[in-house]
Amino acid sequence: MKILLQARGASLQALFFVVISVAMMVVDHRFHHLEVVRTNISLALSPLRYIVSLPATGGNWLNDWFTSHTELLEENAALRAEGRILNARLQKLEILAEENARLRSLLGSARKIADDVIVAELLSVDQNPYRQLIEINKGSSDGVEIGFAVIDDFGVMGQVIHVNPQSATTILISDPEHAIPVQFVRSGTRSVAFGRGSTTQLELRYLPATADIKIDDDLVTSGLGGRFPPDYPVAKVTAIEEDRVRGFVTVLAEPKARLDSSREVLVIKPRQ
Amino acid sequence: MSKLRYLVIYLSLVVALVLMILPLPDWVQIYRPNWVALVLIYWSMALPKRVGLWFAFFTGIILDTSQGTLLGQHTLALVIIIFVNMNFYQRIRVLALAQQAMYVFALLLVNQVVVAWVEGVMGRPTPLLAFFGAPFIGMLIWPWVFVILRDARRKALLS
């Protein structure tokens, strides 16, 4: 009898937890009330993330340590040369920027050229095979907020979807749930690039068959929607698939950013 | 003092959690066994009075947070398999390791069904290989998990 009662108690308890879990999932999916829980647990887990990132960091450190003297000298020389070239280009750029600003002020547009950025480093990558998320080491205490765009030196990587005090979760543009408004540089056609769960492919659906698109066309952010600042490189067209029956074109593009290998990233504060 | 001995349970779960968030190359990623589920199954078999549904519930929430899944997704899965285990552990405990491993495979598969079902509802179907691969690897790993945790438990004087 007692065993029976115990068994019934356990069943009730299990049912209770099942109901709670399902309720939590619904609340988490639809609303944002559980962000607080998530943030606090995430914070408590941050030492674990740190431990996990140790082997990679340690490896890098050892690698740096054992880089031979001559290699360093060579690299130094190369960097100096590159620095000179970049400086020369920069002078030109400054002049261009000034000219651009002057022209813009003539046109009466108030767009700023430079954006405020926060430099961040990667903490951990994509713990879930179905999603494309990365964790960066700057959080709300550094001024990072939800919706900020994240880029690396080659292009747009994604946007911040969750912020902790010392870290932030970034959804990559290749996540199946992510879409980014883009524009073809050459033709000016606007579209939206969807992630496909692979770091090497974005998909632009339902473009008109008459659109002027070629392989190797560059895609930049269009700035529509207000999330991503305009004119940052996003991807390059790699394939064009025609659907003759329905008269649409699906374009596949390869992200410019190194979604799977960049360690240093920039978080862009949107302009006021 | 006696509380201190249970530290080994928490410690093993922390290790399992670290193994879950350890970055792996993409092609290995989908075969990553659910370490947390394995460790939890062991403890609920060895110390059913101590490690039950409450344990599964809180472990699940922590796992959900660290995996970035919906809060409740792994929780639901873990609660269900631990509940199943609570009804079977007495019969399973006495089996040989290989037979236990098959039982564990079934539990991990149930776990996978729940997680994949929620993913599916949200429009992210799980690839077939990942669906069966991870529980299969979990099954192969079970004997080692069992032996390691049993030794740890004996060292910590838990019975």
Read off the pLDDT of residues A123-139 as tens digits, 9 standing for 90 and up: 877 666 678 888 888 88
Question: Chain A residues with CB inside 8 Å of B76's CB?
Answer: 18, 21-22, 25
Which comes out higher in pLDDT, residue B158 or A23?
A: A23
CB contact under 8 A, B75 and A52: no
Is pLDDT at A110 greater than 50 in this prediction?
A: no
C-alpha B86/C-alpha A14 separation (Å) is: 10
CB contact under 8 A, A10 and B122: no
CB contact under 8 A, B67 and A34: no
Q: Please report the pLDDT score of residue A253 as a whole number.
A: 94
When pLDDT is averaged across residues A154-181 and rounded to a whole number, the result is: 89
Mean pLDDT of chain A: 83
Q: Please report the pLDDT score of residue B43 as a whole number.
A: 93
Are A179 and A194 contacting, i.e. CB atoms less than 8 angstroms apart?
yes
Q: Which two tokens stand for residue A25?
A: 């999932």
Q: Which two tokens stand for residue B42?
A: 């062991």
Encoded amino acid at A149, one letter: A
CB contact under 8 A, B66 and A131: no
Nearest CB to A129; choose among B52, B60, B130 = B130
pLDDT digits (tens, 9 = 90+) for A37-79: 888 888 888 888 888 878 777 877 777 777 777 788 888 888 9
Hey, of A11, A12, A21, which one would you mutate to test binding to chain B, going by the most B CBs within 10 A of its CB? A21
Residue B19, Cβ density class (10 Å: 0-12 exposed, 13-18 middle, ≥19 buried): middle
Which of A8-12, A159-163, A253-257, B153-157 is the least confident region? A8-12
Question: Chain B residues with CB inside 8 Å of A129's CB?
Answer: 26, 29-30, 32, 130
What are the residue boundaries of the structural domains of chain A, listed by start? 2-66, 70-114, 116-272
pTM recorded for the entire structure: 0.60
Which residues 121-140 of B are in CB contact (within 8 Å) with A?
122, 124, 126, 130
CATH for the A116-272 domain, from 2.40.10.340, 3.40.50.410, 3.40.50.720, 3.30.450.20: 2.40.10.340
Instruction: Write out the H or E segment, with its range, that includes residue A241.
Output: strand A233-243
CB contact under 8 A, B29 and A169: no
B48 touches chain A (CB under 8 A): no
Which of A95-104, A260-269, B27-36, B73-82 is the least confident region? A95-104
Q: Which two tokens stand for residue B47?
A: 């110390």
φ, ψ at A68 (rounded to 5°) = -70, 160
Q: Please report the pLDDT score of residue A105 as a whole number.
A: 67
